[in-house]
Amino acid sequence: MQGTEDQTQDFFKSKVLGHPAGLFVLFFTEMWERFSFYGMRVLLVNFLTMAVIGYNPGWEWSAENATALFGTYAGLLYLTPIIGGLIADKWIGYRWAVVLGALIMTLGHASMALETEFSLYAGLALLVIGTGFFKPTMTSIISEMYKDLPEKKDGAYTIFYMGVNAGAFFGMMLCGYLAEKIGWSWGFGLAGIFMLLGTLQFWLSKPLFGNIGEVPKRGGNDEMVVENVIEADDLIDDVKSSKTVAHANPFTMVDKILITICSVVGLAYLFNDPLSKIADINLFPFKVGNLDGQYAVILLGLGLFLYLVISRMWRYERVVRDRMIAFVIFAFFTVFFWLSFEQGATSLVLFARDSVDRVLTGNSAIAFNIINALLTVIPLLIISWVLFLLWKRTFKKIPGSNIVLVICFAGMWGIVGWMLNRDFNTVAYDVTYSAIQTPALNEESGEQLLDDKGELVYAYEAVTENMSVPEGAVVVDKIMKIAEPVQLAVNEEVHIIHKNNEKTEYAYLSDKGVENARANGIKQNLDNGVVVAKVAEIKANEVEIFVSWFSILNSFFIIAFASFFSKWWESKYNPSATGKYALGLIIMAIGFALLAFGAMGIQEGVKVSMVWLILAYLFHTLGELCISPVGLSYVSKLVPARMIAFMFGMWYLAIAIGNKLAAVLGGQIENITEQYSLSFFFLIFTIVPALAGILILFLSPVIKKLMHGVK
């Protein structure tokens, strides 16, 4: 015991901002992992659904197929850490788990950068496996570091949580910018590079940690398992040791068989959904009445799982059983929160790309560039200052780790400088091009459409260099605005190509871009889409906000409002657990209500103001901050020791289900918009969480009674 105390005291000698330097090594390790994870996450659906011919070609999948794949990937991410955490606890130790997971994820990002079908699936599989090892072990190392100083844990987790959000913020910004402006492989590749460097700096910092995170001695316990399955994204409150009295309730053979069956059924559905939609491979090629086989099997699996949970809970005494029922209710409502919140990775990405007016010109463009520069540079300066403090304290002991971190930040500063310079120097031009004019007809009557002024409406198709203009076709000159950080002269001939799936917006092609577009046309055996145009007029400065930029707002708002919510929860006005859940769900619903209102009545070709999307992300983040303190921390308060690992698994299962449902529903954005309207689509995510929030509010007295005094 004396040796442990001496090691802890020695560990705390090297302090940065009042905490051991090792905490900031973990801070940066997690930051680079989140950088790579969110950098890839924000690109996947956008890449898969982008037109195969265009400025930045994708694979032109339907939204339904793309989100089916993403939903399975996201669901698995919340299941593999349960297994990875147990392996780290019992066999390989936390440090090796971090390194192994990070290296596997690096290979995954590298595979995705190749942009082939096999490399995409292999990359996603590697990311899921690597995440299983990496995610649960980082917080376990922190827990081990602070086991003799529990009063400092909350502060440590707060600092660590800032690393999570900093990584997400810069990952979505820089990977997103490179992917959308230069090419998808650049975004996927950058995520892998920083993942690899982050792993290297962690490994080289080994002398700083001593025996912390080493291969465990034989004989683990439930507490280790519990610590190890906590996910960093959800850590605002530390999970304390269970105060609930444990009762002997061993898992019976029936319990184990049911767990196996439910696991197999759940995994089979996760894989069958994208397989059946993308590859037309159905693992359940039968029907039960009018019900598809996969849904019949899922209902069976759900029924067996409910029987398993209820039967196990029923074996405990009433107070313990009631508390577990309360926890199950929280897990149930968690599904409704995540199925709405995770639209940020699917439908909201497509909405931002196709339906939001992201172009700013003149003074508006200048104002955005200044705000964006401050939004990027100030956080980077703060984190660079933390790196400087870490360097001063630890360079003699871990020089290699510090040098790798400096290389990382030099790269970050270089990319940020290039990005900001590019945006500040982007100029808009009016260009003229030839287009074939045809009457726009009413699909039902066949008559030519009239606009609001009673004038005839025409459709226009740009004449590409591959196109043979039909004899008798009406060819007219049209004007299109393009914007690029290049200097062009009036009357200069340029090449342009469409940059959105609707072919209503065009972008400038460099000589290399023209070469790539022509090669892509040959590869796809399609018209390459290249249009010859001429510069007609030089306009003002212009900036088009890239799609991924909106996703960074979640991380920014968390950093901005987390301290306010933390003080609120510590005050006498701290709501109950059900109150927080109700607030989170209803605030989330308000965000989607604003989107539904903003999209109301828009016509084809008209786009929604970006203000509505910014406000939506604000309310979604405020809802997340209400939900995040509840959940994991209640496992230890409400669940007996022997059931903690099982209930942690159930909690992550609820999040996985929420993520999968979010993707399935988000993939219907095209179908629902076509059949009803975009506003109707967002109303679904307004009504569902709002009703869930109201319901849990009404259940508050019942849940409070079930908790038997647990606060």
Confidence of residue 248 (pLDDT cuts 50, 70, 90): low
How far, in Å, CA of 645 to CA of 9, rounded?
Answer: 32
Q: What is the mean pLDDT of the chain?
A: 87
Residue range 306-331: average pLDDT?
A: 89
332, 651 in Cβ contact below 8 A? no
Closest CA to 266 of 669, 666, 639, 652: 652
For residue 283, the cross-strand partners are: none
Q: Are strands 287-288 and 291-292 parallel, antiparallel or unpaired?
A: antiparallel
Report the range of poorest mean pLDDT among 264-273, 305-314, 371-380, 425-434. Answer: 305-314
Write b or e for each residue in 402-427: b if 16 or more Cβ atoms lie within 10 A of its Cβ, otherwise e.
bebbeebbeebeebbeebbeebbebb
For residue 631 the two structure tokens come to 């959940």
Note the pLDDT tens digit of each residue in 456-469: 888 899 999 999 99
Query: Has residue 549 got a pLDDT over 90?
Result: yes
C-alpha 605 chain-centroid distance = 28
More reliable by pLDDT, 201 or 647:
201
pTM greater than the 0.75 cutoff: yes
For residue 356, the cross-strand partners are: 608
More reliable by pLDDT, 17 or 589:
589
Confidence of residue 229 (pLDDT cuts 50, 70, 90): very low
Confidence of residue 447 (pLDDT cuts 50, 70, 90): confident
Confidence of residue 141 (pLDDT cuts 50, 70, 90): confident
Query: Has residue 238 got a pLDDT over 80?
Result: no
Contacts of 290 (CB under 8 A, 6+ apart): none
Confidence of residue 217 (pLDDT cuts 50, 70, 90): low
Residue range 98-113: average pLDDT?
A: 93
Q: For the chain, what percent of residues have pLDDT higher than 70? A: 90
584, 693 in Cβ contact below 8 A? yes
Note the pLDDT tens digit of each residue in 188-208: 999 999 999 999 999 998 888
pLDDT of residue 208: 82
Note the pLDDT tens digit of each residue in 373-387: 999 999 999 999 989
Query: Cα separations (Å) of 34 from 27, 41, 167, 237, 341?
Result: 11, 10, 5, 20, 18
Closest CA to 649 of 127, 229, 338: 229
pLDDT of residue 161: 80
pLDDT of residue 151: 67
Instruction: Kindly calculate the radius of gyration of the chain based on its CA atoms and give it in whole angstroms.
Output: 27
Report the range of poorest mean pLDDT among 135-149, 283-297, 436-450, 472-486. Answer: 135-149
pLDDT of residue 573: 87
More reliable by pLDDT, 621 or 10:
621
How far, in Å, CA of 98 to CA of 203, rounded?
Answer: 9
Query: Cα separations (Å) of 441 from 394, 446, 447, 449, 463?
Result: 72, 5, 5, 5, 21
For residue 366 the two structure tokens come to 């200048």
pLDDT of residue 422: 95
Query: Has residue 282 got a pLDDT over 80?
Result: yes
Q: At what angle do helices 153-181 and 21-49 cross, to 10 degrees?
A: 30
Q: Are strands 458-462 and 493-498 parallel, antiparallel or unpaired?
A: unpaired
Query: Has residue 16 got a pLDDT over 80?
Result: no
For the chain, the residue count is 711
Query: Has residue 224 got a pLDDT over 80?
Result: no
Helix (H, G, I), strand (E, B), or coil: what is residue 148?
Answer: coil
Confidence of residue 218 (pLDDT cuts 50, 70, 90): low
pLDDT of residue 154: 67
Report the range of poorest mean pLDDT among 130-144, 284-298, 368-382. Answer: 130-144
Closest CA to 238 of 308, 160, 121: 160
Confidence of residue 105 (pLDDT cuts 50, 70, 90): very high
Domain boundaries, the chain: 316-358+546-711, 427-484+486-544
Q: If you average pLDDT over each of 282-291, 390-399, 401-410, 603-612, which comes out highest?
A: 401-410
Report the range of poorest mean pLDDT among 14-18, 93-97, 128-132, 273-277. Answer: 14-18
Q: How many other C-beta atoms lie within 10 A of the C-beta of residue 375?
A: 17
pLDDT of residue 220: 45
Note the pLDDT tens digit of each residue in 624-636: 999 876 766 677 6
Confidence of residue 142 (pLDDT cuts 50, 70, 90): confident
Architecture of domain 316-358+546-711: Up-down Bundle (1.20)
Residue range 581-609: average pLDDT?
A: 90
For residue 254 the two structure tokens come to 């029936």
Query: Has residue 507 got a pLDDT over 60?
Result: yes
Note the pLDDT tens digit of each residue in 387-422: 998 898 889 889 999 999 999 999 999 999 999 999
What's at 700, amino acid-wise?
S
pLDDT of residue 443: 77
Burial environment of residue 619 by CB neighbours within 10 A (0 to 12, 13 to 18, 19 or more): buried
pLDDT of residue 13: 57
Q: If you average pLDDT over each of 160-169, 353-362, 641-650, which comes out highest?
A: 353-362
Identify the DSSP state of 432: E
More reliable by pLDDT, 153 or 284:
284
Helix (H, G, I), strand (E, B), or coil: what is residue 20?
Answer: strand
